[in-house]
């Protein structure tokens, strides 16, 4: 007698003919029904790359699963061992600890091709080629998101399958998110070129119609499955691969930012993957300050002090070119870790390489003077720490901030040492460090709110 799967594949290809199969006769039917679960395990006698991935998954689930899995692989070499007890024991572990499945594949709904990685799925060449026209700069945040029904009615050919899958994606279903974010990128890519039929309005409307649900869905998936989900998207949508920022970077940055803040305040920075943090820090190198992804990347400051990625180094590297981003991100860093942030701040404002002036709207100010604006609001609640858009973080996280007196004193000393106080009143306070001509108006507004 030969134990086989229903398709005829032998269960124990390497079993010698001397195996007492007759003793297992009364268990064959029951065991065959379980055998499909162990199809990968059977092949461990001659491991393939696929089997090694399965073994890795089992190892992650715990030693008990791994031990039973290895014991079953030994069965292929020593089939005289009783199968059923090990099979049943493995099934209990399988149910309670891990469901081993074949490696995930990514299938394109348009061309039907399948891919082993999310990156290959995203970059395969079945998407329509964009027109060779001037790119649209339409990534400015909107006062309110367009109604998705109206967008789907007006641009049915552009939104593709998004209307059919957006609700499931919003719930965090991972396989649906792969499709939805790919469809979203396709729609935004089509409308990122300014032509008569592809308007700036279409790009803006589609961007904001699906921005929030996709960001929430990816965040939900990350909370359920861990950082590996976000690292997979960060890797697949890496701007350095194509030397441009993907159209969906704002969604990925939003979800990464949420997990960064959440993880920092609950578990510590050691639990944040360095590549996910680096993704946020790279965004201002590819887009200008009017892009939504640019704004999302301010949460990079929450990663200051990371043991494997230096936020301070990136802030110093971009201080001469990305003034707004550096200032807001540095301010965010103070809310995350004011003692590490003050060290970076000191190096920045006392740097001999930081020269020249910075133009912001209607005023011009020296570079070092400009960066003192990053610490002007630390003693008041006029502005909260920067967090991702659409995230009601106060409902989830209990967070308070109090400026350390020692940190405040260092700020005051640096202001004197750099000559910033020369134009300030004798009784100046931190809000006076804001170089903006609107700071006096803000101060009055803040005072009115307190009265």
Taking the domains of the chain in order of start, what are their residue ranges?
21-97
What phi-psi label fits residue 172: left (phi over 0), alpha (psi between -120 and 50 degrees) or beta? left
Choose between 73 and 210: higher pLDDT. 210
Nearest to 426 by CA among 417, 435, 436, 416: 416
CB 238 within 8 A of CB 280: no
- Please name every residue paired with 10 in a beta bridge, in sequence order, or none if there are none: 4
What phi-psi label fits residue 317: left (phi over 0), alpha (psi between -120 and 50 degrees) or beta? alpha
Choose between 414 and 69: higher pLDDT. 414
100, pLDDT greater than 90: no
Choose between 121 and 215: higher pLDDT. 215
* 109's tokens: 């709904």
- Residue position matching structure tokens 């510590």: 268
Q: Which of 165-174, 283-292, 335-344, 376-385 has the lowest mean pLDDT?
A: 376-385
Q: Which pTM was predicted?
A: 0.69
pLDDT at position 376, please?
A: 94
CB 435 within 8 A of CB 365: yes
Mean of the per-residue pLDDT values of the chain: 75
Contacting residues for 368 by C-beta, under 8 A, at least 6 apart = 348, 349, 350, 351, 354, 418, 420
Q: Which of 55-69, 164-178, 259-273, 301-315 has the lowest mean pLDDT?
A: 55-69
DSSP codes, 255-296: HHHHHHHHHHHHT-GGGS-HHHHHHHHHGGGTS-TTSHHHHH
Nearest to 254 by CA among 206, 208, 218, 223: 218
pLDDT at position 220, please?
A: 98
How many angstroms separate the Cα of 417 from the Cα of each of 197, 289, 313, 350, 422? 57, 31, 23, 9, 10
The pLDDT tens digits for 391-402 are 999 999 999 999
């Amino acid at each position: 007698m030969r134990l086989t799967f229903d398709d005829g594949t032998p269960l124990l290809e390497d079993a010698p003919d001397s195996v007492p199969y007759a003793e297992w006769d009364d268990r064959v039917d029951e065991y065959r029904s379980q055998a499909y679960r162990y199809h990968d395990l059977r092949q461990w006698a001659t491991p393939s790359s696929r089997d090694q991935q399965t073994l890795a998954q089992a190892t992650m689930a715990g030693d008990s699963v791994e031990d039973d899995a290895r014991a079953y692989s030994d069965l292929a070499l020593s089939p005289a061992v009783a199968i059923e007890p090990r099979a049943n024991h493995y099934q209990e572990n399988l149910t309670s600890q891990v469901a081993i499945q074949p490696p995930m594949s990514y299938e394109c709904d348009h061309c039907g091709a399948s891919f082993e990685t999310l990156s290959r799925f995203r970059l395969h060449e079945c998407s329509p080629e964009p027109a060779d026209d001037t790119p649209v700069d339409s990534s400015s945040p909107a006062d309110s998101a367009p109604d998705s029904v109206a967008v789907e009615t007006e641009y049915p050919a552009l939104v593709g399958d998004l209307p059919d899958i957006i609700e499931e994606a919003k719930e965090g279903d991972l396989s649906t998110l792969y499709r939805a974010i790919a469809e979203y990128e396709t729609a935004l890519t089509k409308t990122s070129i300014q032509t008569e039929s592809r308007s700036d309005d279409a790009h803006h409307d589609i961007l904001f119609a699906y921005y929030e649900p996709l960001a929430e869905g990816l965040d939900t998936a990350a909370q359920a499955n861990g950082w590996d989900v976000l690292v997979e998207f960060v890797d697949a949508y890496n701007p350095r691969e194509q030397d441009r920022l993907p159209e969906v970077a704002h969604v990925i940055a939003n979800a990464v930012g949420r997990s960064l803040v959440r993880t920092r305040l609950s578990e510590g920075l050691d639990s944040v993957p360095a590549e996910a943090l680096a993704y946020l820090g790279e965004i201002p190198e590819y887009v200008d300050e009017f892009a939504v992804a640019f704004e999302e990347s301010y949460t990079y400051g929450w990663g200051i002090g990371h043991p494997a990625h230096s936020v301070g180094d990136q802030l110093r590297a971009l201080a001469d070119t990305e003034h707004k981003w550096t200032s807001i991100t540095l301010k965010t860093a103070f809310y995350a870790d004011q003692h590490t942030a003050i060290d970076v701040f000191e190096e920045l404002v006392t740097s001999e390489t930081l020269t020249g002036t910075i133009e912001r709207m209607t005023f011009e100010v020296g570079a070092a003077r400009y960066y003192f604006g990053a610490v002007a609001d630390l003693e008041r609640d006029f502005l909260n720490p920067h967090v991702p858009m659409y995230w009601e973080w106060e409902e989830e996280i209990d967070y308070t901030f109090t400026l350390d007196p020692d940190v405040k004193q260092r700020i005051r000393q640096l202001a004197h040492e750099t000559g910033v106080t020369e134009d300030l009143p004798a009784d100046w306070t931190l809000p006076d460090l804001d170089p903006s001509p609107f700071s006096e108006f803000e101060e009055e507004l803040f005072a009115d709110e307190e009265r």
